[in-house]
Structures are given as structure tokens and as C-alpha cells.
Structure 1
Amino acid sequence: MINRLSRGALAVSLLAASAYAFCAPVTYTIDPTHTDVIAQWNHLGFSNPIAHFGQVEGTITYDADNVAASSVEVVLPLAGLSSHVKAFDDHLKSDDFFDVARFPQATFKSTAVESAGEGKLKITGDLTIKDITRPVVLDATINKIDTHPMTSQPAAGFDAVATLKRTDFDLGMNAPYVSDEVQLRITTEAAVPKQGE
């Protein structure tokens, strides 16, 4: 009888622990090989070029039961900037724009995360470029949260969009003829690292 009660108590304890682990916030590390930040703008009314910001690093903490406890921290090394046109990349990295020699990275750190409906999040945070910090709002979509089939680790995928002004970050060369507004599209995969990694 005692053994039966002990086993029952143990089972209840394990279930409670499992439920707690499931509900607790989970911190995922961004996978730079499956993450891209794409900036798009209008060029003199003729075209809408894009540039990619790769090599993204950072973490995403997500709490499904308390979304406000979620957070995002991202570093964008500007060495990963690519428009697929080398001369333009060099110009973007020069002191006319990002001045990468002095400011080698941009950062984003969330200040608030809110639910915006089923599978949607509103992420407000501070974007810092060239040591200038401005608030930015990301409208995010939760693509999938599950065990990754290739690693068996907890994983999450998100897309997000935002609009910002180049002039807010001292990147306003040729504005407004080249649009001041820049559209950002972000896609990311992130996973819980395996122990020891």
C-alpha cells in the first residue's frame, strides 16, 4: 500500500514538473544559417532594391502562458550586409551610411512583447545603429514551435516586419529622393542548444 502510494506521489510529482517545464519560458538561440533580415526601399520611384543583413546572433525567450515575460536580443554584424552588388555594399559600409569601421554592428533589444491575436506578437524594442537608439515595433508571426526533427531540440520559428526611417539613424543620404522609409522583413529559426554546446 505504501509503495503504491509512493509510486502515485512520484508520478504526480513528475507530471507536475513536466507541466511546469512546458509552461516555463524557453530561451532559444538564433540560428544564423536560417535567419535573414531584409531591408527594402524605393529608389527614385524606379525600383525597390533590397539588402540582406546576415550573420545574425542573439536569443529569443518565449513564454506562451505569459507573453509579456518574453524577450528578444539581437546583434547584426554589419560585415554580413549584402546587396549582391559589391560596389554598393562598399558604399553602404562607408561613412556615407553605416560607417562600419567605427560602428561594426547594430543591435535590437526588446522592451515589451504583447500578444496581437492568434499566432501574432507585437514586439517593441530599441534599435541601435551608429550609436543612435530609436524605438521600433516588430509585427511578428509565430511560424512554428516544436521539437526540431533534425536535432531533437526544442525550436521556434518567427517572421516579422517593421518600418523605420533612415534619417532617424543618420543614414539619410539622398532622402527623400531615395525613400526615407525602409521596410524590414525578418525570418528566423532558433533552437535550444544541446547541453555542452
Structure 2
Amino acid sequence: MKNLIKFSAIPVLAVAFSAPALAAPKTYAVDPTHSFANFSYNHMGLSEQESRFDTTRGSIVYDPVAKTAAVNVDIDTASVDTGSDPLDEHLRGNDFFDSAKYPKATYKSTKVVFKGDKPVSVEGNLTIKGVTKPVTMTIDYFSAKEHPMKRKDALGAKAHMTIKRSDFGLSKFVPAVSDDVTITVRVEAVVE
């Protein structure tokens, strides 16, 4: 289930902001110290569990004038963090992420949908454990402004998607542990 979080890195695409009329596309590097993906799922009908991946990297290309964007996010599957070392090891193993063989989960956008000047969703392909499926993320929050410390253009976004983990070869314990997993990605990115 936690494997599904890898795609998360995906909300990073929600990087729309006002720009001068002659603006050109800019490339933003995802800040791994302020970006991560959470995943949540129902555990045996008893509780809603939430965990995360600690390492997320990638880039966003954004053109506010043309209202286009592209997102490329990599999530380190071995960085899964549930708060339980034995569970983390199990998730890194063959039953789930198989991190030794598939060290990254990736999300690559195919289209960012705008409503007015604001990005509202990202269409793209999520790859987990060697399986690629189309997944759409809904952008819940977006901000674009100068980073107050770095004095460079920066973007912030929060987006979510729901996937079936069994679609990605992560079906262990379904249906006792829910097949549906919600992945939420929070990203900060700074112009390169």
C-alpha cells in the first residue's frame, strides 16, 4: 500500500502562478528536504493507516503564459517510513516494493489541466514495481512566489490520487488490507 505513495510525487505538477506576458518556461528542481509522499489505507476495517516515503526528487517545467507544465518525480521505495522498522523491511521486500530490484517509483505527466490561470489536475503515468498505469492527480493546493530565503522563483503544491495497489503487483493481504490507497504528495520546488 505504501508503494502507492511513490507516485505521489506527482502533485508537484500543480505549479501554476501569475507571470509576465513574455515569460518563458522555467525548470524547477524538487526540494527533497521539503517534499514527500504520504499514502493511506484501511487496515482490516479497524483503522486508517498513514505512512510516507522520505526521499522524493524530480523536476517541474512550468510556463504560466502558455498554461503548460510537465512533471517528473522519482520516489525512493527504500525510503518508506511507517514508524515500524520491521514493517518497513517487509514493505521493501518481495511481497511489496521489492526495493532491491525496483529502487524507484516514478510519475511522469502527460498533461496538466488548467482552470483559468490555475492548474487543477495532472494526468500522467505512474510506474511502481515495473508496472506503468495512467493515473490522474487532483491538485488541492498550489502556490507560486519568490522563495523568501533563496530569493528565487519557487512553487508549492499538494495533490492526491487514489489507486488500486493490486494494479501494481502489490496485492498482498487484499482485501483484509484495502486495495484502494490514497497517495498525497506535497512538494516545494525552486527554479534551477
Which TM-score bucket, shorter chain as reference? 0.7 to 0.9
The residue number in structure 2 matching 1:75 is: 74
- Kindly indicate whether the alpha-carbon contact (under 8 Å) linking 2:126 and 2:133 is maintained by their aligned counterparts in 1: yes
User: What's the % identity of the aligned pairs?
Assistant: 38
The Cα of 1:142 is off from its aligned counterpart by 4.6
- Unpaired runs of at least 5, structure 2: 1-19
Gapped regions of structure 1 (runs ≥ 5): 1-17
3-state SS, counterpart of residue 42 of structure 2: coil
Q: Report runs of 4+ in structure 1 exceeding 3 Å deviation.
A: 116-120
CA contact (8 A) 1:140 1:159 kept: yes
RMSD: 1.4
Distance 2:119 2:108 in 1: 19
> Aligned runs of 1:46-195 on 2, under 5 Å?
46-67=46-67, 69-116=68-115, 119-193=118-192
- CA distance in 1 between counterparts of 2:127 and 2:141 reads 24
Q: How many residues align?
A: 173
Tell me, in whole angstroms, the C-alpha distance in 1 between the residues paired with 2:141 and 2:28.
14
CA shift for structure 1 position 147: 0.9
TM-score by length of structure 1 reads 0.83
CA distance in 2, matches of 1:119, 1:159: 13
SS of corresponding position for 2:94: coil
Which structure has the greater CA radius of gyration?
Answer: 1
Whichever structure has more helix as a proportion of its residues is: 1
Tell me the TM-score normalised to structure 2 length: 0.85
Please give the secondary structure, in 2, of the residue aligned with 1:159: strand
In structure 2, what is the equivalent of residue 44 of structure 1? 44
> Which structure's relative contact order is higher, taking Cα pairs within 8 Å and 6+ residues apart?
2
